[in-house]
Amino acid sequence: MKKLIISLLIITSLGVESSSASVVLPQPFFNHVNSKFLSNPGVVLIDQSSNEIIYQNGADKPRIPASVLKIFSTAAIALTLDSKTTFQTSLYKTDKKGVFVIWGDYDPWITSSVRYRDANNRAYMPRLIKAAFASNEKLKKITLIYKGVSGSDIYQAKKALKRRASVAYKPIDKGVEVESLITEKIASIESPPLEKMIRFALLYSDNVLSQKLAMLAARKSGFPLTKEGLNQTIKSKVSELGVDTTGMRFIDGSGLSNRNKVSASTVSQLLLKVKIDPRLKPVYDHLPISGESGTLASRFVETAPQAIGLVRAKTGSIRGTVSLAGFATAGEKEYVFVVLADDVGRTRSLQDAARRAIDRMLGTITQPPVTGITPPTPESTPFTTTQ
């Protein structure tokens, strides 16, 4: 009886929400999760094979997820379109001299940045505009009317071109059939499959791409192309999986806003679905791997080297928030874990300390896989980001 009372007192002093777990976690796990640098985070640890909650703390409180939100954005588009889907954007002549049509299907991969074009082989919007001038060397001024291309992409293309004054842009009016305007196709650019975009958004925490993927899911699902429409889209998609979205509200698809809110419990429920739903396989497959790829390439190397290659997770970091959510290999088990620490302080040193605490916490439970358990497979990493 005395031992039971002492155990309960220890749990209470640590601020831990007890659960009927069959796994006994090592004391260093609690030391790190209760680090002052994490400032009472929302935490969930689940045995993925049985859905048993091994540990939780503040798991139902909606918190700022930072880029962990990208798991939701990529899941939403993966549940909306086939992962093999590609997008084409083309330039057409019309029967009017100097008037051209750009017609696309809202390619999220398209860019007007030379840097992104060269580094990642992205579809380059200005290439189409230059092709219009190349079609007739006598043209000094052209008009581009467009559909299936976002206004932001057109704006960025205008900035990228040196001859801005010689190009006029205008969206095609609603109700006008594009086929009635076009004559000859001049040039076309095609995206890679959607799965590659999901990979890139998760592996390198690309904010612009993640936002575009979330808005594309809204467009294809018939929701308004607004912040509320984006929120409704993601909530609808994950709710259909059986995920409890109580308290969840998203302002964007990237995780940059500190007004985004979701509980650690909701994130963990989605991760459980990510592992078993074949439509969400690209999300699972392309999460960064500890010490090896993407935004986790430099993590765990010094803080918890025993966990290198054993954690597959999405990072998150904005001012005041550090987060990590995904999967951890622990011998014959695979855990789903979520850590949302949204009160860590605003300085870089405090955020780095929070990251170290999370890494070390996971280092106390990870173990090399036993026969029959496949460890995460790293991907090539051309560059990393700090998300």
The per-residue pLDDT for range 189-221, each reduced to its tens digit, is 999 999 999 999 999 999 999 999 999 999 999
Q: For residues 7-18, give the mean pLDDT.
A: 41
Q: Is 172 exposed, middle or buried (0-12, 13-18, 19+ CB in 10 A)?
A: middle
Range name among 131-135, 225-229, 262-266 with the lowest pLDDT average: 131-135
pLDDT in tens, 126-158: 899 889 989 998 888 999 999 999 888 888 888
Q: Tell me the C-alpha distance between 76 and 230, whole Å.
A: 10
Q: Is the pLDDT of residue 381 over 60?
A: no
What is the model's pLDDT at position 137?
87
Q: Is the pLDDT of residue 380 over 50?
A: yes
CB 142 within 8 A of CB 132: yes
CB atoms within 10 A of CB 186: 16
Q: pLDDT class for 365, splitting at 50, 70, 90?
A: very high
What is the model's pLDDT at position 372?
58
Q: Is the pLDDT of residue 39 over 70?
A: yes
What is the model's pLDDT at position 3?
45
What is the model's pLDDT at position 23?
80
Q: Is 143 exposed, middle or buried (0-12, 13-18, 19+ CB in 10 A)?
A: middle
Q: Tell me the C-alpha distance between 336 and 54, whole Å.
A: 10
Q: pLDDT class for 163, splitting at 50, 70, 90?
A: low
Q: Is the pLDDT of residue 6 over 50?
A: no
Q: Is the pLDDT of residue 13 over 60?
A: no
Q: pLDDT class for 180, splitting at 50, 70, 90?
A: very high
Percent of the chain scoring above 70 in pLDDT: 89
Using left for φ > 0, alpha for ψ between -120 and 50, and beta otherwise, residue 156 falls in alpha
Percent of the chain scoring above 90 in pLDDT: 76
Q: pLDDT class for 119, splitting at 50, 70, 90?
A: confident
Q: Tell me the C-alpha distance between 53 and 106, whole Å.
A: 41
Q: pLDDT class for 9, splitting at 50, 70, 90?
A: very low
Q: pLDDT class for 12, splitting at 50, 70, 90?
A: very low
Q: Tell me the C-alpha distance between 289 and 300, whole Å.
A: 10
Q: For residues 309-326, give the mean pLDDT.
A: 98
Q: pLDDT class for 123, splitting at 50, 70, 90?
A: confident
Q: Is the pLDDT of residue 56 over 80?
A: yes
Which two three-digit tokens encode residue 314? 């999405």
Beta carbons within 8 Å of 329's beta carbon, 6+ residues apart: 310, 311, 366, 367, 368, 369, 373, 375, 376
The sign one gets for the Cα dihedral 300, 34, 316, 200 is: positive
What is the model's pLDDT at position 377?
65
Q: What is the pTM of this model?
A: 0.89
Torsion angle defined by CA atoms of residues 235, 238, 244 and 245, in that order, rounded to the nearest 10 degrees = -20
Tally the residues of the chain: 387
Q: pLDDT class for 10, splitting at 50, 70, 90?
A: very low
Q: Is the pLDDT of residue 164 over 80?
A: no
Provide the total of helices (H) and of strands (E) in the chain, helices listed first.
12, 10
Q: For residues 45-49, give the mean pLDDT.
A: 96
Residue 113 one-letter amino acid: S
Q: Tell me the C-alpha distance between 170 and 147, whole Å.
A: 9
Q: Is the pLDDT of residue 22 over 80?
A: no
CB 251 within 8 A of CB 231: yes
More confident residue, 127 or 360: 360
Q: Is the pLDDT of residue 178 over 90?
A: yes
Alpha carbon distance, N-terminus to C-terminus of the chain: 47
Q: Is the pLDDT of residue 300 over 60?
A: yes
